[in-house]
Amino acid sequence: MKVRFLLDENESPRLKAALLRFHPTMDVLRIGDPGAPQLGTPDPDILRYLETSQRMFVTSNRTTMPEHIQAHWAANGHLWGVFWIRRGMPIGQVARDLVLVWQASEAEEWIDRLDWIPF
């Protein structure tokens, strides 16, 4: 199965636009989009959405999300991967790396993995 992305609401909408410019068929939502969690959705609810929708999460939230991920795993939950965006990275570089993930891997390869982007 192809990787499907959910972008955190704190990430620029330009990231989604850049991804779709590279590949218009890529399945990418941003929190607040139709079919995605609403803006302001609590982290635990986002994690449950990610698990059931089989989406990888792309975020720079390293303040509250790590503790919620640990709690999600402690409750036997799973995730389809999380990418932490490194501070100060240009949107184009982040988009290129996400496109590489989308092109070169399958969603199942990222289950319960946390990683940094850009690589």
Phi and psi at residue 74, in whole multiples of 5°? Answer: -65, -25
pLDDT at 119: 80
**Is the omega angle on the peptide bond into residue 118 within 30 degrees of 0, that is, cis?**
yes
In tens digits, the chain (119 residues) has pLDDT values of: 999 999 999 999 999 999 999 999 999 999 999 999 999 999 999 999 999 999 999 999 989 999 999 999 999 999 999 999 999 999 999 999 999 999 999 999 999 999 999 88
CA distance 93 to 110: 20
pLDDT at 91: 96
Burial 64-78 (b: 16+ CB within 10 A, else e): ebeebbeebeeeeee
Report the candidate in 56, 64, 63 with the shortest Cα–Cα distance to residue 97. Answer: 56
What the chain holds in terms of domains, given with CATH numbers, is 5-117 (3.40.50)
Q: Three-state SS for 115?
A: strand
